[in-house]
Structure 1
Amino acid sequence: MPQPKVKLVVTGDDFGYCPRRNRGIVECFQSGGVSNVSLLVNATSAVDAADLAKRHRIPIGLHANLSEGAPVSHNLKGSTLLNEDGFFHGKTEFRKVLQSGQLNMYEVEQELRAQVKRFCELVGHLPYHMDGHQHVHVLPEVREVFAQVLADFGICYTRIPVEPGLHACPNIPPQLHDFYTQVQKDALLSVEVFRRHRIRWPDVYLGLTTMGENMSVANIKQALGYALGARCLANSLTVPSTGTQTDEIAAPDTDRPITVELMVHPGYPSDPLEGGCGQGPDDFSQSEDRQHELETLTDPSLLAYYKQESIQLCAFRDL
């Protein structure tokens, strides 16, 4: 067979969040729309998700969670990671606590190690990859701890959420666009940290511009078009002095396929009384956008496009 132009890892995030998310992700995998999943080990349906991954031989990694729900470690009473109710601070508040200098990095490390160990208990092997729920793994200080934990466990792959074309996407609300831009700044500054620890990641990351209602066959094709023309972000990325310019793409290594990760969140909307990570499902999980992503990712025209363009779906373990 001819060598593919792109090796595409389509990762279904938040596996384990609720039974309906699990069911949708498995259906998406069986239909060829997802090739890899990322498990939330502190989610209420994590045990079921791990069993499904084993039963259906779904390649699986760890979606390390420091921002939503209850911790895995039993030694975090009174921790700086937790609010007064004993739950993680949340996506926005976690960042505020970190910026205030009040987050204890030893506690971050303790929780990350506990989540890796819990993953191994559930799945039976180490994660093939490990990234951060709500992109916390690229935040200042956290990225140092995260990279060290990856290196200590021998987990080779992570996610660097720097997306070509983000700044040209007109469909993202301003507030969300600001958040994504900050995520990319943090991600660019994490490159040196992960590289120093010999951690790798796919050449190109996609998923911010194709999330939820913005996902369509046309938008995925457009995003992959950027990837087809993109340089190898993994090993040649030079961090700009401003940390803001992410769309300058150099010539790729033509001797091998470009590797791409597409982050997705397919499933069926959560029941309001079922799921989550200890506090119930959030609005994101209950949104009809979950099913919209599922239907888009399994659209026959998209699967035909992959074949036509020599885009081979694979998993992190195949890289």
Structure 2
Amino acid sequence: MPQSRMMLVVTGDDFGYCPRRNQGIVDCFRAGGISNASLLVNASAAKEAADLAKRYNIPIGLHANLSEGVPVCPSLQTSSTLVNQHGFFHGKMGFRRALERGQLSMEQVELELRAQVQLFRELMGHLPHHMDGHQHVHVLPEVRVVFAQVLSDLRIPYTRVPVEAGLHTCPWLPAHLHTFYTQVEKDALESIPVFSRYGIRWPDVYLGLTTMGQSMSIPHLQRALSHTWAASDQPVVTAELMVHPGYPSHPQEGGCGEGPDDFSQSLDRQHELSVLSDPALLALYHQERIQLCSFKDLSPTAQT
């Protein structure tokens, strides 16, 4: 598209979570609804997802996971600070509580992150073109420093900084999500100097907190996009839209060791898939001179 106004990376998160998620991400990519995916290497269908990414040439990065399922690093699967008495990660909020109490070893965080990058490389045959955090763990205090160090050492050029313009004035988010997302934003803002110090990059603007699940619609996406123009003075804005397309998980099929969660078994994922693949949305991109791309397209230094 000549004279693009925006280069938009639309990232389908949680690739590998279950076969139904994998199929939804592939279908969405083939329909032009996403341009990028983020792989959970400790998920039950990660190998299938990697094979699908190679078959359909889906640009792919690593969705680093410290909060759901079982660690990849064998030495951390028992008697580590990252897991509970059942050998599972502490969960989205449990991880945060343990971090606040000073109960997590950052040395073990680093071991696990490096093990997940290595497994990604074994599955895909190359380093990830970008690396973000499942449930935004990568921007948390202390973790952000370890995360940036790993990316810098391995020359993984891009990450995600979940600071969304328009979040605070969004009228449809329930109170508990608004509270959580506001904390995510605070952590992300405090991560910026850390990521900058290590030479890590990210797109100019971020979208996706206000358009998850049933909150995704073309008008809501239009609202989110309208805020991006004001968030950057660049002639061509780079942006990432975080999405979660898929089909509802079958009960007991999928997840990262504990089965699929309620969100994954709901119709929310399929709703996102439907909106993202809607020809009216693709027409909107064309009208607004938005070109979908991947992190690999933004980064000439990404290794293969």
Q: TM-score range, shorter-chain basis?
A: over 0.9
What residue number does 1:229 align with? 230
SS in 2 for 1:168: coil
Q: 2:247 aligns with which of 255, 264, 268?
A: 268
1:153 matched to 2:132? The reply is no
How far apart, CA to CA, are the structure 1 residues paired with 2:223 and 2:287?
15
What residue number does 2:34 align with? 34
Q: 1:315 aligns with which of 282, 294, 301?
A: 294
Give, in angstroms, the shift of residue 222 of structure 1: 1.0
What residue number does 1:282 align with? 261
Q: After the TM superposition, which residues 10-21 of structure 1 pair with which residues of structure 2 at under 5 Å, given as runs?
A: 10-21=10-21
Note the alpha carbon deviations across 1:84-104, whole angstroms, 9 max, x for none. Answer: 000100000000000001100
SS in 2 for 1:166: coil
Give, in angstroms, the shift of residue 190 of structure 1: 0.2
Structure 1: stretches of 5+ with no match in the other structure: 232-251
Note the alpha carbon deviations across 1:162-197, whole angstroms, 9 max, x for none. Answer: 000000101111011100000000000000000000
What residue number does 1:303 align with? 282
How far apart, CA to CA, are the structure 1 residues paired with 2:99 and 2:288?
43
Amino acid at match of 2:267: E
Give, in angstroms, the shift of residue 10 of structure 1: 0.2
SS in 2 for 1:209: helix
How far apart, CA to CA, are the structure 1 residues paired with 2:222 and 2:251?
33
Q: Which runs of 4+ in 1 moved over 2 A?
A: none
How far apart, CA to CA, are the structure 2 residues paired with 1:75 and 1:273?
27
Amino acid at match of 2:70: A
What residue number does 1:3 align with? 3
Structure 2: stretches of 5+ with no match in the other structure: 299-304
What residue number does 2:119 align with? 118
Q: After the TM superposition, which residues 130-145 of structure 1 pair with which residues of structure 2 at under 5 Å, given as runs?
A: 130-145=131-146
What residue number does 1:236 align with? none
SS in 1 for 2:44: coil
Give, in angstroms, the shift of residue 20 of structure 1: 0.3
1:82 matched to 2:80? The reply is no
What residue number does 2:22 align with? 22
How far apart, CA to CA, are the structure 1 residues paired with 2:253 and 2:234?
47
Amino acid at match of 1:38: S
What residue number does 1:64 align with? 64
Q: After the TM superposition, which residues 191-210 of structure 1 pair with which residues of structure 2 at under 5 Å, given as runs?
A: 191-210=192-211
Give, in angstroms, the shift of residue 228 of structure 1: 2.0
SS in 1 for 2:108: helix
How far apart, CA to CA, are the structure 2 residues paired with 1:41 and 1:2?
36
Amino acid at match of 2:263: F
What residue number does 1:253 align with? 234
How far apart, CA to CA, are the structure 2 residues paired with 1:228 and 1:21?
32
Amino acid at match of 1:3: Q
Amino acid at match of 1:222: R
Give, in angstroms, the shift of residue 284 of structure 1: 1.2
Identity of aligned residues (%): 69
Q: After the TM superposition, which residues 46-61 of structure 1 pair with which residues of structure 2 at under 5 Å, given as runs?
A: 46-61=46-61
Give, in angstroms, the shift of residue 3 of structure 1: 1.8
SS in 2 for 1:313: strand
SS in 2 for 1:13: strand
How far apart, CA to CA, are the structure 2 residues paired with 1:157 and 1:140?
19
Note the alpha carbon deviations across 1:268-297, whole angstroms, 9 max, x for none. Answer: 000012000011000111110000000000
How far apart, CA to CA, are the structure 2 residues paired with 1:65 and 1:3?
37
How far apart, CA to CA, are the structure 2 residues paired with 1:141 and 1:147?
10
Amino acid at match of 2:97: K
Give, in angstroms, the shift of residue 229 of structure 1: 2.3
SS in 2 for 1:167: coil
SS in 1 for 2:10: strand
How far apart, CA to CA, are the structure 2 residues paired with 1:102 and 1:222?
40
